[in-house]
Chain A
Amino acid sequence: MNCCEFREKHSDFVDDLLNPQEQSDARAHLTACAACRRFDATLRAGLDALRALPDVGLSHGFRHRLQWRLRDELAVRVPVMARWSGAVGTLLLVATIGFVGWDLLQSRATHRRGAEWAATTLRPAALPLAANVPARVFPAVRFSSLDPRSDAFHPINSILVTDPPGPAARGNQVRYDLPAVWGGP
């Protein structure tokens, strides 16, 4: 083994990674070559001095500062969660509004159907009332057009129906606004 080869394999020689034959050759070269011996001794002494360096210590507030930074890290994560929960909340809100709107429309449709029923049944000719009104259709229609104190006749603008017609009547009252053409508002 010559000096170039020795220097090339010196790192493995220091770490005992050469195979037995190469290790033996390196040792033989070291015995024979003063320059490489000096180089080997210098490196080993330098590495010893390096490994003897004391550890650098942490400053007093290191852990405290780290804890604060980790809290900040958590604080960054929370808005991310909040953003998602906000999106979910928005979806829920939209769904709720949609449901309420749909329910309202359904309710209006029900009332419209009731008004249509009233409009077709309560023909102007049937008003004002009594004898011409079929009892079957208006079991409990109360007209408030006549003021008992003044005996004056007020135009009818709505009627109150107790129990829509049908066998399952339960005493509910439904107020129907009448069109102006019938004398309403």
Chain B
Amino acid sequence: MTLAVRDGLRSLRHTPSTPFAAFEDSQVVQAFLDGQDRAFDELVSRYQVRLLNFIYRTVGDRERAEDLVQEVFIRIYRHLHRFDQSKKFSTWAYTIASNLAKNELRNRSRNPLVLFQTIKRHWEADHRPLQFEDSSSRPDDLYRKRHLRELVEQSVSQLPEHHRVVFVLRELEGKTYEEIAEITGCNLGTVKSRLNRARNNFAAIIAPHLD
């Protein structure tokens, strides 16, 4: 599935239920700053799933990712009046999300209990019954799909943290090199170098499973 299709599906999922649906991000931000609280709901609707997926692919823990997405929105709400409106709102939101994800990974590496809880949660998820997933597909198809999905997710999770962030931003979120540089606070050369290494690593990790 291409990035365009993914974005299309995401936008379809977001029904235009508010008067801000046709607005650009910058207009929605301005509306919120002008005192229209519902504009913030629009920002949440636009970014909640995207940020959840980005953080989830980075930290590998769905529940924790959801908590962090909430934290992203709290910080956006708190500091939106300081946001430089000459820049892209999405880049700013991803920067906050990226920093929180990095902090989470750093804290987790320092706290073995958190690491254990994460592993335990994954173990429980791995052992849930297959028949609850999708009753319309054949069991062997379901197994193959789920297996491939897990392999891909594991391959991403095995990348070093600073490579993983760049890799997810590029491959899943479709960010440009310049945007990634801004989000991660690195220069363009570093982004290119990290992305190239991440892709090489990813290919090396997943190659045995794809053959």
Contact = CB atoms under 8 A, between A and B. Distances in A.
A57 B70 CA distance: 14
A52 B171 CA distance: 11
Interface stretch (B94-102, B116-124, B135-143, B192-200): B192-200
Interface string B199-211: 1101100110010
Contacts of B156: 50
Interface string A1-38: 00000011011101000000000000000000000000
Interface stretch (A58-66, A83-91, A125-133, A148-156): A58-66
Interface size class of A (residues with CB under 8 A): 20 to 34
A70 B74 contact: yes
Interface residues of B, number: 41
Contacts of B6: 51, 55
B66 interface: yes
B3 interface: yes
A81 to B, nearest CB: 15
Contact of A56 (B53, B148, B155, B199): B53
Contacts of A45: 210
Given A58-B48, A73-B78, A51 B2 contact: yes
A33 B207 CA distance: 17
* Chain A CB within 10 A, most for which of B10, B44, B153: B44
